[in-house]
Amino acid sequence: MSDALTHFDAQGQAHMVDVSAKSETRRIARAEGRIVMEPATLVKIVAGNSKKGDVIGIARIAAIQGAKRTADLIPLCHPIPLTRVTADFAIEGDNTIRCTVTAETVGRTGVEMEALTAVQVGLLTIYDMCKAVDRGMRMDGIRLLEKEGGKSGHWKAAE
């Protein structure tokens, strides 16, 4: 891995990285995060009796939408054509929901930012839908799990 920050030119000015010389390859990234809440809040989510509807279903759609809008939110991120985005939500214990997102493209730059943004948007949607009953929810553990494709090849986070 390089020590240089790639989003700055020789004069220290921010710029979008030139990816025109890179080869188009299949690129995949997986990211995760979790939201921790009061057990009673999780019971409401699982029971499906939230006043706002199917919390997990709406969070899944929001995560996918977040991946698609990443370049609109992160100033120097390239807009890329996504070929697939999946958002999976799993209940852990009596107070946690884990979100795992996989984003894919065939292109010249990776999809790590899309996967990470999708996780955040999915978790924020859960927060938004449940904040009336639990303002103390917290999101944590947001991280890249794995990336494939491109010159740097396959990378996987330490467990």
Q: What are phi and psi of 127, to 5 degrees?
A: -60, -50
Nearby residues of 155 by Cβ (< 8 Å), 6 or more positions away: 146, 147, 148
Q: What is the pLDDT of residues 52-73, one digit of tens each?
A: 679 999 999 999 999 999 999 9
Choose between 2 and 144: higher pLDDT.
144
Q: What is the pLDDT of residues 15-34, one digit of tens each?
A: 677 677 777 889 999 999 99
Active site residues: 128
Taking Cα atoms as reference points, which of 124, 117, 110 lies closest to residue 153? 110
For 139, the enclosing helix (H) or strand (E) is: strand 138-148
d(CA 74, CA 90): 27
Taking Cα atoms as reference points, which of 136, 138, 149, 68 lies closest to residue 101? 68
Instruction: Quickly state the pLDDT bin for 3 (edges 50, 70, 90).
Output: low
- pTM over cut 0.85: yes
Residue 158: its pLDDT value, please?
A: 92
pLDDT surpassing 90 at residue 48: no
pLDDT surpassing 90 at residue 85: yes
